[in-house]
Amino acid sequence: MTRASAPMGMAFRGMLIAGGCTAILLGIVLAFFWHAEVVDMTGAPRVMAGLALRAFEAAVLYGGSWLAVRGWNGRPQTETSHP
C-alpha cells in the first residue's frame, strides 16, 4: 500500500489551506495577544491556566499546520486518474 496523497479538487485544497492558516492566526491572536485576559477570566491558578493555554496553542498550531500542509500536498484530481 502506497502513501501517495489522494486526489482532491482544487476548491477543497484551497479550503484546507485557508482553514489551516485561519486556525494558526486565531491561535496566535488568542494565545499570544490575549493571554493575560484569558488567564484572568478562567479564575484558575496562573500556572495551571498558563499550561492549559500553552497546550491549546500547541494543538491549534499543530492542527492548523496539518491542514495547510495537507491541502498544499494534495494531488489535483484529474479526469483520467484510475486506481
Domain range annotation of the chain: 31-74
**Structure confidence at residue 72 (pLDDT):** 86
Judge whether residue 64 has pLDDT over 90.
yes
The whole-angstrom distance between residue 34's C-alpha and the CA centroid of its chain comes to: 19
Judge whether residue 51 has pLDDT over 80.
yes
- Rounded CA gap, 34 and 57, in Å? 12
Judge whether residue 39 has pLDDT over 60.
yes
More confident residue, 47 or 12: 12
**Structure confidence at residue 66 (pLDDT):** 92
- Rounded CA gap, 44 and 50, in Å? 9
Q: Are strands 75-76 and 7-8 parallel, antiparallel or unpaired?
A: parallel
Question: What residues contact 33, with CB distance under 8 A and at least 6 apart?
Answer: none
